[in-house]
């Protein structure tokens, strides 16, 4: 690790102004992703701005009946919050499916949403990588790519976003509140993470210097049907090969509303909007769930070693939707 | 553990005692006191007045005592504990948050000391494996690991024990896990299932694979009657024969 200056900004404004005037500065919150990256020289900041002591640790009910979650709420605190467990169980489960208790205790909401890919080529500075150093190449495209993207990748980058929490947030139509030197702005969660395109070095649409201050969840009347199903190489403490978040509003025999989001398959948490639209007005049965899964994966493209993810995703969607149709719970 | 060792009081089978004994057995008794002394001296106050460039002086509260030390901001809490304060109970397995050997408890919550910087932990209450036992008694979780053979080589054990201590508090505080069937009714100590224990302990790997003993140790510490792993293997064999 290269050495750096360590600063504790005394307010959000102070943090943002320091980060804007020094483009080589980085925020640190829980540190569980950044310290790891620093150790392998992926980042060499001039200074670390420790925002972990700032006052963004509240979870409050909004006027609309949703929740406003401070960016420094820990993953553990959010997953265990009683309103989240009652009203957004798929968010609790998604968080609890990630990492380990020790990491979740340190990790914050903002840091989780900003964590970077676990692509082994990105992590190993002996390899070129367009994400780490633009225009050097993507060895994953032709290398060992079992964990890589099947949707929305480009010839520049086939990495996937590793966050479980983000998959739940995109399914729940969350909004991010961010602060820059010019003031606050809001970003719909679905527009927050980017596809790689020609600029894989940019994971998100956060502008330099901007700090995430909160995430806002709208009320989702049918969120109790929420399911988070995570499939991985071992039963716990591993990143997703494929994960699925679903929720369904079923009235009588008819589906009124559907949410389907996928993790582990793309450079961003993947909302399967077309499959959701297909389900609306249909009966909540096996054959419709099968068709929805086909629609969600119709543009999927396999690399040399990750073709299995396409079938795995379809099966996961079918299973998660079936559990959501029964009212939710463990999938 | 031999029967003779089992008869010793907890204090007699403390870690320090064990270290001294085994070094004596290996014929290197002279090394033992000096090794321990140098650690103890460092523990008292590892900060000298002259800072090297890039260093800052910080104050950490570890196992109830304030310690001053000079560190560069890039020094992890794990390295500060081990290299500067002589608290080598916390182990460095992977140094990347992937094994749990470095687990310590900060403000009541278990964390990986390899993934946090020492400077970030000023003013926090840090408890390491060295802080669990009292002068005369091992912590009940330490006893449970001994009673249930919750280890083989012992390298992962300080992390496993710190993780288990925090786990029990999490249960008391009503925390849920990925495998909790109903997120609105968290398990209690008495009803904590094996599946729950395994999921909640998944952040601590054991290369010796002492997992059965670790689960049994957590069950004992939770007040349950643990099946001794050895006993349950015997039972299986009996069943197969009959
Ligand atoms: C072994 C291991 C397994 C893991 N498994 C999983 C898993 O299965 N699923 C999963 O989802 N995650 C997993 N993780 C990742 C973990 O969830 C993240 O490391 C964690 O959520 C990051 O949060 P943090 O607060 O520690 O972030 P930090 O490390 O402090 O920061 C991460 C990044 O976010 C930036 N940042 C932090 N806060 C803000 C803010 N408010 N505004 C703007 N930028 C900010 C930092 O500058 C940095 O670039 C795993 C990690 C490890 C080490
Ligand atoms: S040494 Fe910290 S988790 Fe392995
Ligand atoms: S006892 Fe050897 S690693 Fe766990």
Q: Which of A35, A102, A168, A238 to mutate to test the interface with B (most CBs of B within 10 A)?
A: A102
Which domain, by its residues, includes A12?
5-52
Q: At what angle do helices B157-172 and B140-147 cross, to 10 degrees?
A: 120
pLDDT of residue B101: 98
Q: Name the residue of chain B whose CA is nearest to A86's CA.
A: B184
The answer to whether position A277 is within a domain reads yes
How far are the Cα atoms of A151, A227, A241, A242 from residue A262, in angstroms, in the given order?
A: 10, 12, 10, 7
Q: At what angle do helices B31-44 and B15-25 cross, to 10 degrees?
A: 150
Say if residue A268's pLDDT is above 60: yes
pLDDT of residue B9: 41
**Chain B environment of A231 (Cβ under 8 Å):** none
Which atom number of ligand 2 is nearest to the Cα of residue B100? Answer: 3
The answer to whether position A9 is within a domain reads yes
Q: Name the residue of chain B whose CA is nearest to A103's CA.
A: B111
Beta-carbon contacts of A111 under 8 Å, excluding residues fewer than 6 positions away, are A29, A30, A31, A32, A33, A34
Say if residue A293's pLDDT is above 70: yes
Which domain-ending residue is among A16, A32, A52?
A52
Residues with CB under 6 A from ligand 3: B 151-157, 206-208, 210
The answer to whether position A261 is within a domain reads yes
> Up-side HSE of residue A154: CA atoms within 13 Å toward CB?
15
For B97, which of A5, A32, A329 is closest by C-beta distance? A32
From the CA of A156, how far away is ligand 2's center (Å)? 33
pLDDT of residue B38: 39
The answer to whether position A280 is within a domain reads yes
* Domain CATH number, residue A28: 3.30.43.10
From the CA of A310, how far away is ligand 2's center (Å)? 33
Mean pLDDT of chain B: 82
Beta-carbon contacts of A270 under 8 Å, excluding residues fewer than 6 positions away, are A151, A152, A167, A170, A261, A262, A263
What chain B holds in terms of domains, given with CATH numbers, is: 56-131 (3.10.20.30), 140-233 (1.10.150.120)
| A interface with B, Cβ–Cβ below 8 Å | 1-6, 28, 30-32, 35-36, 38-39, 48, 50, 52, 76, 79-80, 85-86, 89, 92-93, 96-97, 99-103, 105-106, 235-237, 329-330
**Chain A environment of B107 (Cβ under 8 Å):** none
The answer to whether position A151 is within a domain reads no
Q: In this structure, what are the phi and psi dihedrals at residue A67, rounded to the nearest 5 degrees? A: -130, 140
From the CA of A43, how far away is ligand 1's center (Å)? 14
Interface contacts A/B by beta carbons within 8 Å: 105
pLDDT of residue B53: 78
Q: CA-CA distance, A230 to B179, in Å (whole number)?
A: 12
Q: CA-CA distance, A150 to A156, in Å (whole number)?
A: 14
Kindly report the number of other CB atoms within 10 A of residue B20's CB atom: 16
Tell me the mean pLDDT in the region B42-69: 81
The answer to whether position A78 is within a domain reads no
Among all bound ligands, the one having the nearest atom to the CA of B210 is 3
Number of domains forming the structure of chain A: 2
> Under an 8 A CB cutoff, do A3 and B100 touch?
no
Among all bound ligands, the one having the nearest atom to the CA of A233 is 1
User: Strand A59-61 relative to strand A47-50: parallel, antiparallel, unpaired?
Assistant: unpaired
pLDDT of residue B236: 52
Q: Residue A140 — pLDDT band, cuts 50, 70, 90?
A: very high
CA dihedral (A273, A275, A276, A277) positive or negative: positive
Which domain-ending residue is among A17, A33, A52?
A52
The answer to whether position A266 is within a domain reads yes
pLDDT of residue A253: 86
The answer to whether position A179 is within a domain reads no
Tell if the pTM clears 0.95, that is, is over it.
Answer: no
In the three-class reduction of DSSP (H, G, I as helix; E, B as strand; rest coil), residue A156 is classed as coil
CA A267 to chain CA centroid, nearest Å: 10
Q: Do B85 and B67 form a contact (C-beta atoms < 8 A)?
A: yes
pLDDT of residue A256: 98
pLDDT of residue A194: 98
pLDDT tens digits for B109-155? 999 999 999 999 999 999 999 999 999 999 999 999 999 999 999 99
């Amino acid at each position: 690790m290269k050495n750096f200056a360590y600063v504790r900004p005394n307010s959000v404004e102070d943090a943002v102004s320091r980060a804007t005037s020094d483009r080589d500065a980085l925020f640190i919150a829980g540190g569980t992703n950044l310290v790891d990256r620093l150790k392998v020289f992926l980042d060499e900041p001039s200074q670390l701005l420790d925002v972990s002591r700032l006052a963004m640790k509240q979870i409050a009910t909004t006027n609309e009946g949703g929740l406003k979650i401070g960016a420094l709420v820990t993953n553990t605190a959010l997953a265990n919050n009683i309103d989240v467990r009652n009203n957004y169980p798929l968010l609790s489960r998604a968080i609890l499916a990630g990492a380990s208790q020790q990491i979740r205790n340190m990790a914050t909401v903002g840091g989780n949403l900003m964590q970077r890919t676990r692509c082994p080529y990105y992590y190993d500075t002996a390899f070129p990588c367009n994400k780490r150093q633009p225009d050097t190449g993507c060895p994953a495209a032709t290398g060992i790519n079992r964990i890589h993207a099947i949707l929305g990748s480009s010839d520049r980058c086939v990495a996937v976003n590793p966050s479980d929490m983000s998959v739940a947030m995109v399914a729940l139509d969350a909004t991010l509140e961010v602060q820059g030197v010019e003031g606050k702005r809001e970003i719909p969660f679905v527009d927050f993470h980017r596809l790689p395109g020609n600029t894989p070095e940019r994971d998100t649409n956060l502008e330099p210097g901007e700090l995430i201050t909160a995430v806002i969840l709208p009320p989702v009347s049918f969120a109790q049907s929420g399911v988070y199903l995570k499939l991985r190489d071992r039963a716990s403490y591993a990143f997703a090969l494929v994960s699925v978040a679903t929720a369904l509003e079923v009235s009588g025999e008819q589906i009124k509303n559907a949410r389907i989001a996928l993790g582990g398959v793309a450079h961003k948490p993947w909302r399967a909007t077309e499959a959701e639209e297909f389900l609306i007005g249909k009966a909540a049965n096996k054959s419709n769930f099968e068709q929805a899964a086909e629609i969600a994966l119709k543009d999927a493209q396999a690399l040399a070693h990750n073709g299995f993810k396409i079938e795995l995703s379809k099966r996961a969607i079918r299973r998660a939707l079936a559990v959501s149709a029964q009212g939710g719970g463990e999938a | 553990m031999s029967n003779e060792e089992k008869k010793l009081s907890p204090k007699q089978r403390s870690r320090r005692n064990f270290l001294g004994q085994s070094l004596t057995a290996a014929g290197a008794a002279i090394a033992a006191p000096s090794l321990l002394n140098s650690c103890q001296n460092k523990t008292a106050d590892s900060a000298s007045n002259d800072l090297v460039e890039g260093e800052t002086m910080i104050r950490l509260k570890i196992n109830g005592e304030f310690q001053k030390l000079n560190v560069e901001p890039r020094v992890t809490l794990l390295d500060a504990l081990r290299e500067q304060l002589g608290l080598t109970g916390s182990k460095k397995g992977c140094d990347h948050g992937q094994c749990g050997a470095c687990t310590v408890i900060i403000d009541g919550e278990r964390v990986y000391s390899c993934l946090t910087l020492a400077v970030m932990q000023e003013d926090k209450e840090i408890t390491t494996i060295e802080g669990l036992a009292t002068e005369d008694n091992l912590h009940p979780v330490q006893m449970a690991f001994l009673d249930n053979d919750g280890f083989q080589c012992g390298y992962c054990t300080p992390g496993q024990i710190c993780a288990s201590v925090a786990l029990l508090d999490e249960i008391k505080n009503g925390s849920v896990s990925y495998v909790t069937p109903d997120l609105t009714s968290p398990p209690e100590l008495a009803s904590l299932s094996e599946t729950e224990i395994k999921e909640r302990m998944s952040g601590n790997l054991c290369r010796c694979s002492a997992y059965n003993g670790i689960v049994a140790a957590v069950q004992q510490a939770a007040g349950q009657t643990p099946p001794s792993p050895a006993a349950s293997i015997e039972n299986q064999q009996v069943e197969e024969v009959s």
